[in-house]
Structure 1
Amino acid sequence: MIKTQQLENNVNRELYNAMIKRRVALSAVLLAALFALVILNIFIGSSDITLKEIIIAIFLKEGKGHTVMIVNQIRLPMALMAVAVGAGLGMGGCEIQTILRNPIASPYTLGITNAATFGAAMGLILNMNVVKASEPLMVTTNSFLFALLASVLVYAFSLRPGAGKNGIILFGVALNFLFNAATMILQYIANDEDLKSMVFWNMGSLLKTTWTKFYIVFSVVVVCFIVFYLNSWKLTAMTLDDTKARSLGVDTQKVRQMVILLTSLLTAVSVCFIGAIGFVGIIAPHIARQFVGEDQRFFLPLSAMLGAFVVSVSFVVSKIVIPGVVLPIGLVTAMIGVPIFLFIVFRKMRTL
């Protein structure tokens, strides 16, 4: 009897180790793909620069003409910003889906992105500072506060008796329309210059990326990832119902508050610097879940990497579809994301 139990334990341990190895191998492949995409995004541009010249410009700061400036001050920060923003959106979608237990929830579908967009529009068009922050931080602060407002509204609605998962999504859709309409009103009263800036910004673009902007987004993504990962077992428990999660010692209310706060911050810094990018927060976690399940030790980092992968691929596509023209990256992610989103919806309908 004891030998049989030991044999079963050994088999289970081998299966677990094999599963861990597969997940680590998948992560390594994705990291390699991300590195290749960063190089590809640096390589593709209006100026022809060879791979050798790119490596020399990055590591030795040497090159012909404006090569060093083009590589280090324009293309490299844009390529890295695509990774940082994609990772942040993937993480935000991952955790919003976790606390709401809904695979089609995301900062975009719940109205958080449009709320952040409205906050940014108030700064760009009305020059309105909600909390009297310094002028360089005005747009970021406005975006964050309105993203937080939308998140709190969604959370408050989720606490109402009878508010099911579908009801929460519908409430988020209503918030989407509300903040989108408010943004359109601001666009209607804007002057031509502000309107052009707002429309261009709202479509999502990496073209105005600077090292300072990248460092801010990267810092927020890293801090949020660390906090999420340190609470990975609590977040994994949140995939159960609240009663079971609390029986495991998880303070579900505090975990939801943490996710709302950090997801709002991730959404705000992404929106205020490069504009609204939709669907990444839906498709990245959904694909990650198919590979690794709900275990946050793997679900979280894989969602971040897949989000970075989607945005990086979209950035490549935006530069090659029309020669000499860089399409807004938000349009490309929508073209990629809509078919996948519809697939998720139809698949969910079949399981009901």
Structure 2
Amino acid sequence: MTEIKNQYDYRKETYYKLLYILIGLMICFVSFVTDIVVGPANLTFHDVWLALIQSSDISKNAYVIIWSLRLPMAIMALLVGAALGIAGAGMQTILDNPLSSPYTLGISAGAGFGASLMVVVGVSALEFLGVFMVPFGAFIFAALTSFAIYSINKIKNFSSETMILAGIGMMFLFQALQSLMQYMASPEALQNIVFWTMGSLSKANWINITIILVVLIIMLPLMMKEAWHLTALKLGDEKAAGLGVNVEKLRIKVFAFISIITAVAVSFVGTIGFIGIVGPHIARMLVGEDQRFFLPLSALCGMTILSISSIVSKMLVTGAIFPIGIVTAIIGVPFFFSLVLSKKRRF
């Protein structure tokens, strides 16, 4: 009788977790549609619909606004939100620390310095990259930051505290170097650096979207493949090893996955903070640590938060688009402090 009750409770719990994911999909879809409709051009939902179905009744200006600006930005918000959400979830799991994210570990700061370096200095050998030179620099330095953090922690056998401290150190280092780039920059270059480091979806285009989408299509299944091992890891290293999990190999593998995802995402949109903290934490409150549900819901929460932030960024200043990185910081900082000050959390 007890076994039957346990099976019933498990199925009921699984049902609710799937329900949360379904609700997350619905909220995300509503936010996505709203993000396309809202904007300085004051287009109606009917105009957006006619543009999306490529009707001949829509004006040329409205068609260009939807297909060249709003739709790419809305899709980019979803993809980057998913990338940062799942990257934060993966980092928090392998480090067992709810403050872990690409932003707090300095990976975003590394990307910011790489982009600034390309804007100010540039490299003649990379001129063939054209408009992709700045994203390329951001990607390289984000990847190098991840490798440096891993190398430091390899000495300490992946101590969670060591990795957090190494990430904070990297963040301060690259912020200082980025300030140096700003000091050396011309007025025009300085404007580009500041705009990029604030975080923006305005550079979104179908090529960038395709690149991020391909990376997510490859990396997300690889992350989900490790869902059981990651769930076991939450029981502790010794218990996970007792269940047959190669703990060190798992951490290396997952850290490599999330480093690639993060580097690609931030290389196109700039520094967008706190999505990797807030998204996974909301998912954890809803479905717990079962990675089969935690990882996809973290991605959904990241998508929704960044999509809503995109909407807010277009409503704060009439006729203009506010930098989305500022919006996510305004949302994320209070949440960050609530985590730090919570007595129930262990760091």
The answer to whether the superposition gives a TM-score over 0.5 is yes
Q: Corresponding residue for 2:192? A: 197
Letter in 1 for 2:282: I
SS in 2 for 1:155: helix
Deviations 1:159-215 (A, max 9, x none): 444985334322221111001111111111111111111110110111121111111
Is the 1:61–1:68 Cα contact (8 Å) retained in structure 2? no
- What CA distance in whole angstroms lies between the structure 2 residues aligned with 1:129 and 1:343? 47
1:347 pairs, out of 338, 342, 346, with 342
Structure 2 vs 1, CA of residues 268 and 130 (structure 1 numbering), >3 Å: closer, same or farther? farther
SS in 1 for 2:207: helix
CA drift of 1:116 comes to 1.6
Letter in 2 for 1:103: P
Alignment partner of 1:278 is 2:273: yes
Alignment partner of 1:35 is 2:35: no
Structure 2 vs 1, CA of residues 350 and 301 (structure 1 numbering), >3 Å: closer, same or farther? closer
- What CA distance in whole angstroms lies between the structure 1 residues aligned with 2:343 and 2:150? 23
- What CA distance in whole angstroms lies between the structure 2 residues aligned with 1:165 and 1:251? 17
Letter in 1 for 2:117: M
Structure 2 spans left out of the alignment, 5+ residues: none
Structure 2 vs 1, CA of residues 12 and 133 (structure 1 numbering), >3 Å: closer, same or farther? farther
Deviations 1:55-107 (A, max 9, x none): 22112343124121111221111111101100100010000111111111111
Structure 2 vs 1, CA of residues 144 and 65 (structure 1 numbering), >3 Å: closer, same or farther? closer
CA drift of 1:351 comes to 5.7
- What CA distance in whole angstroms lies between the structure 2 residues aligned with 1:84 and 1:209? 11
Deviations 1:92-139 (A, max 9, x none): 000011111111111110111101211222222211389998455443
Letter in 2 for 1:209: A
Counterparts of residues 204-223 of structure 1 (less than 5 Å): 204-223=199-218
Alignment partner of 1:294 is 2:294: no
Letter in 2 for 1:304: A
- What CA distance in whole angstroms lies between the structure 1 residues aligned with 2:125 and 2:93? 31
Q: Corresponding residue for 1:165? A: 160
Structure 2 vs 1, CA of residues 138 and 238 (structure 1 numbering), >3 Å: closer, same or farther? farther
- What CA distance in whole angstroms lies between the structure 2 residues aligned with 1:324 and 1:311? 20
2:146 pairs, out of 145, 148, 151, with 151
Is the 1:204–1:329 Cα contact (8 Å) retained in structure 2? yes
Moved more, 144-153 or 121-130: 121-130
Alignment partner of 1:10 is 2:29: no
Structure 1 spans left out of the alignment, 5+ residues: 1-6
Is the 1:116–1:267 Cα contact (8 Å) retained in structure 2? no
Moved more, 159-168 or 210-219: 159-168
Alignment partner of 1:174 is 2:169: yes
SS in 1 for 2:231: helix
Structure 2 vs 1, CA of residues 231 and 162 (structure 1 numbering), >3 Å: closer, same or farther? closer
Letter in 1 for 2:173: L
CA drift of 1:25 comes to 1.2
Moved more, 337-346 or 254-263: 254-263
Deviations 1:277-310 (A, max 9, x none): 0111111111111111111100000100001111
Is the 2:90–2:254 Cα contact (8 Å) retained in structure 1? yes
Deviations 1:304-350 (A, max 9, x none): 00011111111111111121121100000000000000001111566
- What CA distance in whole angstroms lies between the structure 1 residues aligned with 2:125 and 2:110? 14
Letter in 2 for 1:29: I
Structure 2 vs 1, CA of residues 98 and 48 (structure 1 numbering), >3 Å: closer, same or farther? same
User: Identity rate of aligned residues, in percent?
Assistant: 39
Is the 1:109–1:176 Cα contact (8 Å) retained in structure 2? yes
- What CA distance in whole angstroms lies between the structure 1 residues aligned with 2:256 and 2:179? 26
Is the 2:182–2:193 Cα contact (8 Å) retained in structure 1? yes
Q: Corresponding residue for 2:41? A: 47
Q: Corresponding residue for 1:265? A: 260
Structure 2 vs 1, CA of residues 17 and 130 (structure 1 numbering), >3 Å: closer, same or farther? farther
Moved more, 207-216 or 156-165: 156-165
Alignment partner of 1:21 is 2:15: yes
Q: Corresponding residue for 2:137? A: 142
Is the 1:118–1:179 Cα contact (8 Å) retained in structure 2? yes
Letter in 2 for 1:285: P
Alignment TM-score, normalising by the size of structure 1: 0.92
- What CA distance in whole angstroms lies between the structure 1 residues aligned with 2:270 and 2:149? 22
Moved more, 183-192 or 152-161: 152-161
Is the 1:129–1:142 Cα contact (8 Å) retained in structure 2? no
Aligned-CA RMSD value: 2.1
Structure 2 vs 1, CA of residues 163 and 266 (structure 1 numbering), >3 Å: closer, same or farther? closer
Aligned pairs, how many? 346
Structure 2 vs 1, CA of residues 348 and 300 (structure 1 numbering), >3 Å: closer, same or farther? farther
1:74 pairs, out of 66, 69, 81, with 69
- What CA distance in whole angstroms lies between the structure 1 residues aligned with 2:125 and 2:169? 23
